[in-house]
Structure 1
């Protein structure tokens, strides 16, 4: 039996109150959307006379929140692969496709719920355009804005995410202000001061994040992780290896930064001990071959050899042989240049012969196709240098 409205009499009028309508704001999960609970929600709002503009604002906001959560949990971005020194192009491509598909799905749902004019709602502006979302995936974090997605950070509540973003932006601002102040006053940058600023940020984050969440954040955005990715550039490591290196290297790097401005004998000795610990750690986790590659990452000749192989499309196996050739060539040229018994013309002729042998060896190591590509790139670089 349908419940009748309750009638309340007064001296001046009669007030009808509907008692069969219950309105409450809900948080909708994806399963709620599939069961079309939004439709019931909209009807409840209309039943109490809620203005259509307000209904649109509420529903758009709710749907955006649901799809934002789906995006954070369902899309794999380069930020989640914190052990990779260079983002995987396929991951970027797949992420952009998935983000655009989710956005189209979101728009279709809102059109179904609210009609084609829903975009006139002010809440519609809260959702970034597809191109902006794609650019965020490609560029990653910048200017203190971090990406909080994936199975760990993606599950943070909206309130915690806002707090993390605020702390990250404030940390970036503090560091920028310090760097600009030092430059303006002609003073050197203190690694110890930067370390203190970073520690302040960690302490603030530790108050709102669990240890697991904080570690995930640091694996993505800490200076230690950035340095580690730089050192491991071009070297394949697993997530487990990267995490193990990070956990132990983090404390070492912090202490090294705090000692950076000190010149007393005890501090210098401690720095040497810490650097030795870092080398031993690399060797322990990565093995002798890969740890040797880490050291070579700081050698300009190795970096150039690596660049040649990458740009020419040659096999990565040719990097080390190429490095040895280039290293030996550099040593021979340096020896000739320092020989005071030779005239300038003789030096030039011998160096030309050395470079010719180097060029022939390059061709043999790279293969004809990769070698021709390398020479073409080299000529273009030389030509551009002359034009500039």
Structure 2
């Protein structure tokens, strides 16, 4: 009983003390709000907000080139001037950008003789359209730059334009036009070295009364080819050789009138180039052995070309290699007869020439018999020509032949 009494008294006293403490803390709270100390506590809350505002301001003024660039060239120039860019630098930037734009436009429409690399002579109508388009694009380019930079920019461009090389390789087409300037310069150097060394060899041989040595020429060509293969990948190398190699020039001459498509020309060129490369790397040591290997490679080339072109087209190719046929085809064009007339005209001329040679070299004929045989052969030839060409064209043909005979 006594312990229960003291326990209840202790609880009551604790409750009384707790109530007094709670009342005192409620009375002191207003004083704490109005005292200076809490005011100092509030300040850090405001200060970070000001720091954040300052940081945002700094990020807004960070310079980016995209703030200057614009698809609108007039705005682009205005932006460059607004940031204090020197006029000479503005001119360089704008001229380079505009030139790049119009280079892409020219590549899309222009056709040069190097673009029609499979032809001996480019299509005149296509070339005319291309040149007209090129002139129009050049006028547009100059008008745009004049409007952007003022009329004086043209004088500055002429003053700073690099000297154009009069000779040497040309870098046209979608592949070669993208080559780096360093690669182009290295190719020019290699080409100039080849030309100089070939000229030196020809001069040295001439001084000794000798023709150029094919082995020396092959060695120099091999060094040049090795340099090209080091500078260019396979696609770039083929595009370069199609436009800038003596082999491609010879192929265009051989194929005149063959009307090869780009694909056919590539196939023919690859076959010829493969053989030429083998000759460059030939291990023969005498001109006679070199010539023997060349003839052997020619036989291999014919078999490969027949496989690639097909039998009928290959026969046309072979026929086109005959100088007499090429001359006959040109004659047919001059006479204005249909193209299909060229082949029978060639066959008449060829058969007549072979028969005439056989008559003249026949040891069993007397002079009178030989003369009579030749006269019969000529009568048969002229009758066949008249039947093929018609009277009017035949008369034109005979007049041209007589005129050509008198001029020789």
TM-score range, shorter chain: 0.7 to 0.9
Cα displacement string for residues 25-50 of structure 1 (whole angstroms, at most 9, x for unaligned residues): 9xx9xxx7xx3336523652586373
Match of 1:40 in 2: 76
Question: Is the 8 Å Cα contact of residues 194 and 220 (structure 2) preserved in structure 1?
Answer: yes
State the partner residue of 2:206.
183
Question: Any conservation in 2 of the 1:144–1:171 contact (CA below 8 Å)?
Answer: no
After superposition, the C-alpha distances for 1:40-65 in whole angstroms (9 at most, x for unaligned) are 236525863735x6755664455345
The match for 1:92 is 127
Structure 2 residue 140 is the aligned partner of structure 1 residue 105: yes
Contact 1:182 1:188 in 2 (8 A): yes
Structure 1 alignment gaps of length 5 or more:
1-18, 133-140
Q: TM-score when scaled to structure 2?
A: 0.69
Which residue does 1:318 correspond to in 2?
341
Counterpart in the other structure of 1:288: 311
Q: Number of aligned residue pairs: give it.
A: 345
Q: Is residue 75 of structure 1 aligned with residue 75 of structure 2?
A: no
Q: Within 2, Cα distance between the matches of 1:162 and 1:268? A: 35
In structure 2, the partner of 1:115 is 150
| Aligned equivalent of 2:173 | 150
Write out per-residue CA displacement over residues 225-270 of structure 1, whole angstroms, 9 at most, x where no aligned residue.
3343333332233333333333343222233464594435xx7765
Taking the aligned partners of 2:176 and 2:79, their CA distance within structure 1 comes to: 35
**Secondary structure of residue in 1 paired with 2:167:** coil
Alignment partner for residue 275 of structure 2, among 252, 264, 274? 252
* CA RMSD of superposed structures (Å): 3.9
Tell me the equivalent position of 1:263. Answer: 288
Q: 1:369 and 1:350, CA in 2 relative to 1: closer, same or farther beyond 3 A? A: same
Matched, 1:305 2:341: no
Shift of residue 87 of structure 1? Answer: 2.3
Q: What secondary structure, in the 3-state scheme, does the structure 2 residue paired with 1:206 have?
A: helix
CA offsets per residue over residues 64-95 of structure 1, 9 Å max, x none? 45434543454232322333344222332222
The structural deviation recorded for 1:293 is: 3.5
**Whole-Å separation in 2 of the counterparts to 1:221 and 1:114:** 38
**Mapped contact 2:77–2:90 kept (Cα < 8 A):** no
2: distance between equivalents of 1:355 and 1:142?
Answer: 52
Shift of 1:330: 0.9
Output the CA distance in 2 between the equivalents of 1:93 and 1:172: 33
CA distance in 2 between counterparts of 1:281 and 1:275 reads: 10
- Report whether the alignment pairs 1:168 with 2:203: no
| C-alpha deviation, 1:326, in angstroms | 0.7
Equivalent residue, structure 2, for 1:338: 361
Q: Which sections of structure 2, spanning at least 5 residues, go unmatched?
A: 1-59
Q: Which has the larger radius of gyration?
A: 2
Listed one character per residue, the Cα deviations across residues 192-249 of structure 1 (whole Å, up to 9, x for unaligned) are 3222222222222233322211121122223443343333332233333333333343
Aligned partner of 1:138 in structure 2 is none
User: For 1:2-81, what aligned pairs fall within 5 Å after superposition?
Assistant: 35-37=71-73, 40-41=76-77, 44-45=80-81, 48=84, 50-51=86-87, 56=91, 59-60=94-95, 62-81=97-116
1:349, distance to aligned residue in structure 2 (A): 6.5
Distance 1:162 1:91, change over 3 A: farther
Aligned-partner SS, 2:256: coil
Give the 3 Å change call, closer, same or farther, for CA 39–378 of structure 1 in structure 2: farther
2:249 equivalent to 1:213: no
TM-score by length of 1: 0.72
- CA distance in 1 between partners of 2:399 and 2:62 (Å): 76
